Structure 1
Amino acid sequence: MPDLPLSVWIALAAVLGLLVGSFLNVVILRVPERMAAEWRREARDILELEAADETLPPGIVREPSHCPHCKHPLSAADNIPLFGWLLLGGRCRYCKVRISIQYPLVELLSGMLSAVMVWKFGPTWPALAGLILTWTLIALSGIDFRTQLLPDQLTLPLLWLGLLLALKAMFIATPAAIVGAAIGYLSLWSVYWLFKLLTGKEGMGHGDFKLLAALGAWMGPMALLPIVLISSLIGAIVGGSLIALRRHESGVPMPFGPFIAMAGWVWFVAGDSLLHIYLRLTGLR
């Protein structure tokens, strides 16, 4: 790679993250709609019902970006990550309907986290792998937050990529990746069935199992307990705050995937430092 100062690489990563964040918004919005349409089509085929005259929602590659309200195609200037939203004042240029704050937030988050990843690993192959992990976790969090779904199209490739990277011991060795994936899946799977047997209710979705399995494949079994504890803490704080502010009703399901993703990303980037701080505070080191 070119011999550039680390600060330049970090800035380039931030710009790349902004650009990818714009694409992640497309993934977050279009993948669930596409999945639902395909499920309806498959259900009609299985039940041998007459095919409905239904056009599949736009895909994530071929169809150009457009306003979700008036469907008007967006110009190149409108699509500038983050700044396009600011220049438009948060409203569609054509129909003047307010544009969701999700668009600039996802782009900004992607840019910031991408910069942190390159700051952590430098201009290396582990940084590239970390960027893929980061972008996938952002997409999964956005989809789960909006729809309470964690698509297999994202969780399973993330799991397999973690296992493949372990063949080169990029982050952990192959045995640790396999054990981490297995324990990650089975731990939440066991909690799910125990909760269901005791209460008759489903406490979480199956996508949560697969997401934790993927993180186990990337970071190994030793990272799983901290990830679960951190995600539970974040979930309790966020959920309690939303209920206190009356932004969320008590007893209404809340997606857990975004909290697992947050905790996994934090541990991936700063797990060693957090463990060192914990051991010092507890007097174990």
Structure 2
Amino acid sequence: MPDLPFALWITIAGVLGLLVGSFLNVVILRLPERMAAGWRQEARDVLEMEADATPLPPGIVREPSHCPQCKHRLAASDNIPLFSWLLLRGRCRYCKAAISIQYPLVELLSGLLSAVIVWKFGPTWVALAGLVFTWTLIALAGIDFRTQLLPDQLTFPLLWLGLLLSLLPMFVAAPSAIIGAAAGYLSLWSVYWLFKLLTGKEGMGYGDFKLLAALGAWMGPVSLLPVILLSSLIGALVGGSLIALRRHQRELPMPFGPFIAAAGWVWLVAGDGLLQGYMQFTGLR
């Protein structure tokens, strides 16, 4: 890595995170639509129906950005992360339709978390891996929040990358990564089936199992219980707040993936400090 001031590295990471956050918005919005189109076509193939003549939704990489309302292609000045939304006051330049607050929030979140990763790990290959980890979790959380889906197209690469990095090792050694992946999947899988047997309802989706397995591959089995507890705490706080504010009905399902993703990121960055603090608080050494 070039010899640059540490503060400059953090700034570069933040700017890079803003740019990547703009792309993550595209992934969050377009990947579920592409998946749904693929499922419809697969269903038509199974039923031996004619191919659907409806054009496929925009791709993630090739098709340029456009306004969801008027479909006008956006200029480069309309795509400056965070600043374009502020300059345009949250409205399309061409049709004046409101632009979702999701765009600047995802960009800002990506920028801030990316800066924190480099602050934590320094300008190292570990930080680069941490950035990929962070960006993937943001995309997964955003998709699950919008659609209650955790795509295999993201959870599986995250899982396999964690296992491959354990061969170096980078975060944990290979045995811990393998055990963590298996334990992460089986723990939520067991809870899912126990809950279904007792209530006849599905408490979570299979994507949650795969996401926790990926986190186990990155951070080992020791991280799983804290991640589950943290995600449950975050989910209870967020869910309780939404219900108290009457923005969410009790009977409506709430995606658990964003809370798992948030807890996993917190543990990657601050797990050692949280564990030490807990041990000091409880008197354990």
TM-score over 0.5 (shorter chain): yes
In structure 2, what is the equivalent of residue 244 of structure 1? 244
Matched, 1:89 2:89: yes
Query: 1:50 aligns to what?
Result: 50
CA distance in 1, matches of 2:12, 2:119: 11
Distance in 2, Cα, partners of 1:10 & 1:254: 34
Give the whole-Å Cα distance in 1 for the aligned partners of 2:95 and 2:235.
Answer: 37
SS at match of 2:170: coil
- Counterpart of 1:171 in structure 2 is 171
Q: Distance in 2 between matches of 1:151 and 1:284?
A: 40
- Please name the residue that 1:102 is paired with: 102
The equivalent residue for 1:208 is 208
Q: Which runs of structure 1 show a deviation greater than 2 angstroms over 4 or more consecutive aligned residues?
A: none
For the residue of structure 2 that corresponds to 1:123, the secondary structure is: coil
Deviations 1:184-228 (A, max 9, x none): 000000000111111111000000000000000000000000000
Q: Deviations over 1:116-149 (max 9, x none)?
A: 0000011100000000000000000000000000
1:139 alignment counterpart: 139
How far off is 1:93 after superposition? 0.2
Rounded to whole Å, the distance in 2 between the matches of 1:51 and 1:178 is 42
* Structure 2 portions without partners, runs of 5+: none
Q: Matches of residues 17-36 of structure 1 in structure 2 within 5 Å?
A: 17-36=17-36
Look up the SS of the partner of 1:51 in the other structure: coil
Cα distance, 1:2 vs. partner?
1.1
Correspondence for 1:151: 151
Deviation track 1:232-271 (CA, whole Å, cap 9, x = no partner) reads: 0000010011011100000110000000000000000000
Matched position secondary structure for 1:74: coil
Q: Which residue of 2 aligns with 1:74?
A: 74
Supply the AA of the counterpart residue of 1:275: L
Output the CA distance in 2 between the equivalents of 1:2 and 1:41.
49
Q: Which amino acid aligns with 2:60?
A: I
Q: Which residue of 1 aligns with 2:15?
A: 15
- Per the alignment, residue 274 of structure 2 pairs with 274
Partner of 2:187: 187
CA distance, structure 2, for counterparts of residue 34 and residue 116 of structure 1: 32
Q: Identity, % of aligned pairs?
A: 80
Distance 1:142 1:100 in 2: 13
Q: How far apart in 2 are the matches of 1:228 and 1:73? A: 43
Match for residue 256 of structure 1? 256
Partner SS, residue 167 of structure 1: coil
Q: Secondary structure at the match of 1:67?
A: coil
Q: Which residue of 1 aligns with 2:129?
A: 129
State the distance in 2 between where 1:109 and 1:46 align: 41
Matched residue type, 1:96: K
In structure 2, the residue matched to 1:283 is: 283
Name the SS of the counterpart of 2:80 in structure 1. coil
* Number of aligned residue pairs: 285
Gaps of 5+ in 1: none
1:227 is aligned with what amino acid?
V
Matched letter for residue 43 of structure 2: A
